[in-house]
Amino acid sequence: MTGKCHCGRVVFRVDKDLPDTGGRCNCSFCSRRGWIGSSATLEEFELVQGQEVLRCYRFGAGRSQNFFCGECGIHTHFYNTYDDPPDYKYNLACCDEVDLSRLRIVYIDGRSY
């Protein structure tokens, strides 16, 4: 499965089946951007292109690196250190193969982190 930002400069690949669930977090950052995401191990996630245009945003304890395209502003993925082992969370809305209307949504209490 592949995903990309709006302008197409940032492209990622996830080596796993299409998800049937998506996570919606209620932290201040995710709730404001409408995030619906899924997880991938470090081995399953690959940034294919766009390293040069990626920007990183950290907030709170600064434990997660939230990546977005510096050209179009779309948040594509983040490196998550809250889980053990660390993993990547990726934006399902960036994946053309994913039909968001068919996902079962799981709510995540990110405000408690």
Q: Residue ranges of the domains in the chain?
A: 2-112
Tens of pLDDT, residue by residue, the chain (113 residues)? 999 999 999 999 999 999 999 999 998 888 898 889 999 999 999 999 999 999 999 987 788 899 999 999 999 999 988 878 999 999 999 999 999 999 999 999 988 87
pTM attached to this predicted model = 0.91
* Residue 52 structure tokens: 């040069």
Per-residue pLDDT, 62:
80
Q: Which CATH class is domain 2-112?
A: mainly beta
**What pairing do the DSSP bridges indicate for beta strands 37-40 and 87-91?**
antiparallel
Query: If you count DSSP H runs as helices and E runs as strands, how many of each does the chain have, helices first?
Result: 1, 10
